[in-house]
Amino acid sequence: MNHVNIEIITVVDTLPLRQQILRPHQALSECVYKGDDLDSTVHFAAIEDDEIIGIMSLYQRNCLELGSTNGMQLRAMATAIHSRGQGIGFKLLAAAESHAQKIHTQYIWANARVEAINFYKKSAYTINPQQFEIKGVGPHQLVSKLIFVKE
């Protein structure tokens, strides 16, 4: 593996990998999510040799189930198949957490696919044991992590 840089990119740059990995049965236009174009949304990419090999988006959005304010939702995290197992996801997550901490976000949360739960456990996220179905995508669980504590 060559050196991987984590950079902020546009939503348009996330779409090919978002579709390929997360929504292969949907049109590219269906892979644009509510809030993608807001100034408060940040799209991260892991880039190796000018190729985007991982993506993740962070939205300023509270989680009703957590009953807390000042949250950010992690969505659309994906790593290219040929780049898996190399720590790309952990690098993207670290960049998101660093960004959230800088802007004093209280917590990050996500509706995580069940097959990704161990990844979040390794990253010290709290895992809600209750599973729920996202239509057309599959079973998920709520994960969250405290980022910034007001003193």
Q: Tens digit of pLDDT for each residue in 84-102?
A: 999 999 999 999 999 999 9
Which stretch of DSSP H or E encloses residue 78? strand 71-79
Structure pTM? 0.92
Residue with tokens 């599973």, as numbered in its chain: 131
36-46 pLDDT tens trace = 999 999 999 99
Model pLDDT, residue 50 = 95
Model pLDDT, residue 68 = 75
9-19 pLDDT tens trace = 999 999 999 99
Residue 31 has pLDDT above 60, yes or no: yes
Work out the pLDDT band at 134, boundaries 50, 70, 90.
Answer: confident
Report the C-alpha gap between 41 and 58 in whole angstroms.
Answer: 6
Range 99-113 burial, b when 16+ CB lie within 10 A, else e: bbeeeebbbbbbbbb
